[in-house]
Structure 1
Amino acid sequence: MSELTNAYALIIGVGDEELDTVNDAIDINEILIDEQFAGYSKENVILVTGENATRKGILDAFKLLQDKTDENSSVFLYYSGHGGFQAGEFFIQPYGMTNEMTEEEFKSAWVSAQDLKDNISVLSSKRLIFFLDCCQAEGMTKGGISLNQKENTTDLSSHAIAKSAVNKFSKANGLAQKIDNERGMSIISSCREDQQSFQIGGPNSLFTECLLEVLKGKHKNSFEDPYITIYEVTRYLQKEVPKRAKVHNLEQNPYANLQMYDDFTICYVPQKIREELALNESNQDSVTLGKGQKEVVTVYRETEEATNLLLFVHGFSGEATDTFGIIPSLLSEEPKMDGWDIKPLGYTQNVNPELGKDISAGLNDIIKIADYLTTSIKYKFDKYDRIAIVAHSLGGLVAQKSIIDLQDEFRNKISHLILLGSPNNGFNTSFLNEVSNQKFADLSSDGNFITNLRRDWQNKFNNNYPFKLKVASATEDEIVSHISCFESFNEEYCETVQGNHLSMVKPEDKNNDCYNLILSTLTNTEFYNEFTNNEEINLALGKYDVIVKKLLPKVDALDTNGLKQLIFSLEGLDRKDEALEILNEHPLATNNTDLMGLLAGRFKRSYLKSFDAKHAESALNYYSKALEIAIKEENQNQIYYHAINIAFLSIVFKNNESNMMKYAKLALETALNCRDNLWKYATIAEANMYIGDMKKAEEFYSKAAQSAGIREKISIHTNAYTGYTHLISSNNPNDEFIKFLKSNFLS
């Protein structure tokens, strides 16, 4: 039996007359050292329980752990016992503390959150998880701190509850926050604010019961490797504990921070399962040690004297460290931002949201990060007088949910809120029905979450905000419509900047409107769109008449970009004949298949967001006209480009498989004769998908994914996913090809 040779654990269980937590600690210890289960070496696990779990015993155990571990060790910490908050201090309660103690004796006997943080920070390893199964330790002294009376939180006559916490420790997640050293340590506590940690029926607390199950591999439906990782443990606890508590009309929701160093191995899958499935254990060191992981960044800039905090909250397709590109570093160099600490908040690159790192995510992920943000504002960031939030994509929903949930004293700390490309009004129902699967359903514009969020936001603020607000949409946002961004906010708060959904927050330098919008908002100065073309803004907002009035009188003098804007605006005003006349007669547009393709692509993207048939018809007309010209000119690259788009619209818009096959074959024949590049691979893949050769489709989609950037990946996935789901009349997320597309283009 092989062991996790560099995995260590410190298990602490402090029992008393009211709460038997020693049993929890012993059971965790036994499963870790059981060679049939977790795979920890016996000498690598330190167990401290009962009368040995004094302040000295606990701190000595940390010193022993420090001696044993190195920077490549993984460290499993577990504490079961009372936790408390008195006189502004969070603490855990060691053995021997009684209500006969004076306040001074009490404080000298406890282990404060700062004590724990200091001892953890000395550990050289960053691969560390701390489980806190805390009940209460509130009010245990004579010295002016009163002892609470026992509370019955449920009907014990039902025998559903064998034991419950004696008194409510209402700041368990606050204790977790105060221990967090912002070095990527993972912390999960058994319950959140205003909740208790319960014991229901069995010998263990509910939290520890579920932890034991996940360590035994009972959470897994399938096994691909012999390890159980930190994030699957966290995810199981956050899902299973609330579900079981709810059965007994109780609330218990574990808290977890989300800025983890990496998704390192906690333990082995039980040996019996490994043997049955012949799982390979040969790579255990590399998995356990997390070699090659990027350094987690939880701070961009931090100073002792700063009293203001700028938080960046990213969407779920991004990373805490790089979603916003160079914006944090540019702001750090800006003298106007002196006195501001700058930090990211959200999933680190080593943690996956529940439904993967897609452009969107499940409602559970939004609520999870919103809870984390709310708790962080209250406890982790309590030293700051002002907190500004810059949020991108679904991070904007996170920020709004958190701000609503905050109590007034903490909400009043919010000084600025900047929402960038956020689906504030959710996603259009027709969009969800056409191009999505069930995971988006909760984010429908008329779904409960969005409806309640908008109602609560309106009731709370009624467009009278106690903070500076800006809401921005990108001119080429292919994911979130301008209506969704802006509809719930007065015009004075809304700005349009250049870019698409992802590029809007990745400027190349300071000469960028999104960056300057953030800076001007934070420094309370006027913002001007200096780097975004006014016609592009009007085009994005559908102000076609403004563009036509300006550009049509000087049509002969327009460059290609101006011509494109004019034609699209004429189309938007349903003046198609004029648009076609210009295309047929203007010297820059005559026989210009590239220009027609750009126009067709814009209409296609508009169709996929709105499912307006007029946009699809316009796209088909331009692609068809361009294809006709390309065939006459024998322009192979243009032939396959326009043909594959006609094949796409034939199945998605017209539901015409015959036309789809015709144009897919044409695209395939011509693409095979062209020079290798990203779009050739994507075209060959899509064409093979349409004609039914899925093996070839996967081969060339894999080639395309290897050379595609983020924007290209989203575009290719949109075409492939939309076309495929129309072909099979299903969007089942468990379909093998759908999973293949997701893993190649959205992970």
Structure 2
Amino acid sequence: MTQFRATAERAALIFIPGFTGSVAASWQPFITQTLSVPQLASWNILGLDYASKRRVDISGWEKDPSIALLSQYLRTELTVSPLAEFESIAFVAHSMGGLVVQRALVDDPKLAAKVSHVFLYGVPSRGLEPAAMAPWLKQQIGDMVFDGEFVRKLRRDWRRTFGTRQSFELLAIAGDVDDFVGANSSLEPFPESSQRVVVGNHSTLIRPENSDHPSVQILASTLQGQDVPTFIDSARLAVARRNYKAAIERLMPNYASLDDAAFATLAMALDGDGRGDEALRIMDDVYRGGILTTAEAAGNLAGRIKRRWLLERQQADLVRARELYEFGLKTAESENDHAQGFYHAINLAFLMLMASDATADISAVTRRMCQKALDHCAQAQRNHWCIATEGEVALMQGDFGTAESKYREAVAITGDVRDLRSMGDQACMIAFRLGQNRFEQVQGWFTTEAQETRA
């Protein structure tokens, strides 16, 4: 095992080589370019060699292990230090190494539960047609016979274990002129949404000359998350999403009977896992048209309707979100719940600002709601949400100095990716609404560098 970069995060990008068994031989140019990608700076990057040589097995003397045995080796390595310490793992595999990874994931549910991403570059997932010509030369070649016994069992077990949707994100990447592993083997076993094609043959598709190469960009953009703002650290997001998936798996089967706290956890987990539409659907189902009893429940539903309104700008969603936040604020104030009070007040102020004409100044009603949020903050527990709310008020009022100070303080004390994304998204939208060319400045308050004081 070779460690190319060590960081404080608990997410690891592990490169698995092809037929040579050597990370250096398979992946060195790719790893060099990956190390230069800023979005991936916090990922631990490692490579795992295994026993494989470009020579014929010698009966009665020595032969390379089968792919199934190599998968057991991979599983074993991931149970001991340092690999066992990681909470989230992304595999990057080439050629035969991708079969090793797939077999390990099928056979080891605990390993699969830790995996956030799998990238299969030129992997013969249905085997190699050339391998059928001389399977007796080498056990590993015999395992890779096109539609042979090993690959048929792997595909059958994969479908049984993962169905059409696995818990991790998977991409199968083929070279457009890869004559060694055809698209019928590298791409067709997986859904079209998981298929990618880049320039290159079986070797050059993983030998980029710079970080702009499509093979590297596919890796970087997928790890970052297409729907995730640039200020979210991708390694931390990968760890968080593993936690979200665990919560979803535990709570989703009985969502209709959960208490408010557990239901709120489920909704936040779905949202954090990129399944906001599903969170909204089950919330509408449970609340049966919006019959709510608590400020927290109203806020959970209102937040998702608010996000849908920001995307689609349907007037009915704006009206519904405001009604829910107003109900939540009234309920919170009747119960002296100041944390819920500032939450609902600041979101009402935000909705009023975003719904107003782009050329209009902040309205008196919005200013009053901002003041109400500050009044509740003064009596609430001093946490990152309270401090971020004070920052949001300052931002709406055009006080960028105070806003930056408050936001940076809030960012420094929160380790939750979902919370960081929520406060960052809203701040950036306010900055865009206010103009003054401040969007990039505000976005910078939430970058990885801004979080260094937590380390």
TM-score (norm 1): 0.33
In the alignment, what sits opposite 1:663? 369
Deviation string 1:672-714 (CA, Å, 9 cap, x unpaired) is: 3322112112111111111122122111211221232111111
Query: Matches of 1:719 and 1:332 in 2, distance apart?
Result: 41
Alignment match of 1:506 (pick from 213, 236, 242): 242
In the alignment, what sits opposite 1:702? 408
Q: Are 1:613 and 2:320 counterparts?
A: no
Checking the alignment, whether the CA contact within 8 Å between 1:260 and 1:296 is kept in structure 2 is no
Q: CA 1:737–1:504 in 2, change beyond 3 Å: closer, same or farther?
A: closer
Checking the alignment, whether the CA contact within 8 Å between 1:647 and 1:660 is kept in structure 2 is yes
Q: What is the one-letter code of the residue matched to 1:506?
A: R
Q: Are 1:182 and 2:23 counterparts?
A: yes
Query: Matches of 1:646 and 1:423 in 2, distance apart?
Result: 43
Q: CA 1:294–1:503 in 2, change beyond 3 Å: closer, same or farther?
A: closer
Query: Matches of 1:680 and 1:543 in 2, distance apart?
Result: 25
Q: How does 1:513-524 map to 2 (within 5 A)?
A: 513=249
Q: Percent identity?
A: 17
Aligned-pair RMSD on alpha carbons?
A: 5.9
Q: What is the one-letter code of the residue matched to 1:615?
A: D
Alignment match of 2:424 (pick from 703, 717, 721): 717
Q: Are 1:676 and 2:389 counterparts?
A: no
Query: Matches of 2:318 and 2:18 in 1, distance apart?
Result: 51
Q: Are 1:739 and 2:444 counterparts?
A: yes
Checking the alignment, whether the CA contact within 8 Å between 2:432 and 2:438 is kept in structure 1 is yes
Cα offset for 1:612? 2.9
Alignment match of 1:257 (pick from 30, 33, 51): 30
In the alignment, what sits opposite 2:88? 325
Query: Matches of 2:408 and 2:178 in 1, distance apart?
Result: 49
> Whose Rg is larger?
1
Q: CA 1:620–1:744 in 2, change beyond 3 Å: closer, same or farther?
A: farther
Deviation string 1:393-443 (CA, Å, 9 cap, x unpaired) is: 9966xx36x3484647432333753799x899xxxxxxxxxxxxxxxxxxx
In the alignment, what sits opposite 1:298? 47
Q: CA 1:508–1:534 in 2, change beyond 3 Å: closer, same or farther?
A: closer
Deviation string 1:622-668 (CA, Å, 9 cap, x unpaired) is: 11122233334443222211111011111223347213322222212
In the alignment, what sits opposite 1:235? none
Checking the alignment, whether the CA contact within 8 Å between 2:407 and 2:445 is kept in structure 1 is no
Deviation string 1:261-280 (CA, Å, 9 cap, x unpaired) is: 9559xxxxxxxxxxxxxxxx
Q: Are 1:565 and 2:285 counterparts?
A: yes
Q: CA 1:542–1:644 in 2, change beyond 3 Å: closer, same or farther?
A: closer
In the alignment, what sits opposite 2:392? 686
Greater relative CO (CA pairs within 8 A, separation 6+) = 2
Corresponding residue SS for 1:296: strand
Q: Which runs of 5+ in 1 are unaligned?
A: 1-120, 128-175, 188-255, 265-291, 312-319, 347-368, 425-448, 450-476, 481-500, 514-528, 548-560, 571-578, 584-588
Checking the alignment, whether the CA contact within 8 Å between 2:343 and 2:373 is kept in structure 1 is yes
TM-score (norm 2): 0.51
Alignment match of 1:644 (pick from 329, 342, 346): 346
Corresponding residue SS for 1:644: helix
In the alignment, what sits opposite 1:279? none
Instruction: Report which of the two has the higher share of helix.
Output: 2
Query: Matches of 2:32 and 2:115 in 1, distance apart?
Result: 11
Query: Matches of 1:670 and 1:542 in 2, distance apart?
Result: 28
Q: How does 1:453-492 map to 2 (within 5 A)?
A: 479=227
Cα offset for 1:741? 3.2
Q: What is the one-letter code of the residue matched to 1:679?
A: W
Q: Are 1:598 and 2:300 counterparts?
A: yes
Deviation string 1:241-281 (CA, Å, 9 cap, x unpaired) is: xxxxxxxxxxxxxxx404669559xxxxxxxxxxxxxxxxx
Cα offset for 1:331? 8.5
Query: Matches of 1:653 and 1:299 in 2, distance apart?
Result: 53
Q: Which runs of 5+ in 2 are unaligned?
A: 6-16, 53-63, 75-82, 92-100, 129-139, 145-150, 197-213, 215-224, 229-236, 257-266
Q: CA 1:533–1:185 in 2, change beyond 3 Å: closer, same or farther?
A: same
In the alignment, what sits opposite 2:185? 413
In the alignment, what sits opposite 1:6? none
Corresponding residue SS for 1:676: coil
